[in-house]
Amino acid sequence: MAATTAIERDLELADGRTVRFWDTGVQGRGGAGLTLIWHHGTPQSGRLIPPVVEPALARGIRVVSCTRAGYVGTSTLEGRTVKDAAADVVAVASELGLERYATAGASGGGPHALACAALDPERVVGVVTLAGIAPFTDADDWFAWMASPDALRAALRGGRDERRRHGETTEFNLESFVDTDWAVLEEEWAPLGADANRASVEATAGGEPPWGEIDDDVAFTTPWGFDLSAIGCPTLVVQGGRDRVVPRAHGQWQAEQLPRGQFWLRPNDGHVSVLRALPVALDWLRDLAPH
């Protein structure tokens, strides 16, 4: 099923802001009534794309995706934390009347998937993160093995303003992706690359800085607003051994902090090719849902 079949909606929040989300509105018996809330990477638009929707619907899983604050369609929230962005998602889950749901996120979406579980423990049955960045800590070299850490360093050093200035002159470092990443971006995950490009163009179309992307990086390098130890549901941390954007140590550390964390290392995958694990991860989530 194509991603265009998902219904786009806007929800006005209690603080007057608006959050945009997409909903397939379809469940099958094989999913045991499970809904998955998908958290997009940095930068992406929040639109549902076929390589996420198709394996989920094939397993009877309904899919919802929310656009984070500052990306086109969702109101900017200056100074937002990872927890703040996840609170918007929990509000959408309540609007939809979800009694239980799972969360999953890739790359910059990983922290927000975890945050939903911390904020909404009564309803979140499980979490999957794929190539998800870890909370910043100076205990070890958090930036080690990143091919292009300068944007995150700018966010850490000078917050929103310095991260904005950095983005005015920087370009994407092609060495951030390994050969397997480029291969999947030409094949089944081509819609992800197209959506990331679309999100970048949309964000700057009116002459404004790309606040969603900027605020993501600031949120990653400042306190998230919750501890991983507070997440009580099963959590699967999937990491590529060749990832040059979010190195494997980030995934290993998170799995160790999570009370019910499981670590799945895919040694030959990079930052994007690790997404090939999504169908199996969906099987793992589906097995958590009561039948």
Over 80: is that where the pLDDT of 234 sits? yes
Q: pLDDT class for 33, splitting at 50, 70, 90?
A: confident
CA atoms of 65 and 63, how far apart (whole Å): 7
- Structural contact between residues 121 and 232, judged by C-beta atoms closer than 8 angstroms: yes
Model pLDDT for residues 87-139, shown as the tens digit of each residue: 999 999 999 999 999 999 999 999 999 999 999 999 999 999 999 999 998 86
| Mean pLDDT, residues 160-182 taken together | 96
pTM, 2 dp = 0.95
Model pLDDT for residues 61-82, shown as the tens digit of each residue: 999 999 999 999 999 999 999 9
CA angle, 288 then 65 then 220, to 5°: 90
- Structural contact between residues 32 and 60, judged by C-beta atoms closer than 8 angstroms: yes
CA atoms of 72 and 177, how far apart (whole Å): 26
Residue 5: exposed, middle, or buried by beta-carbon count in 10 A (0-12, 13-18, 19+)? Answer: middle
Q: Count of alpha carbons within 13 Å of 265, Cβ hemisphere only?
A: 13
- Structural contact between residues 213 and 43, judged by C-beta atoms closer than 8 angstroms: yes
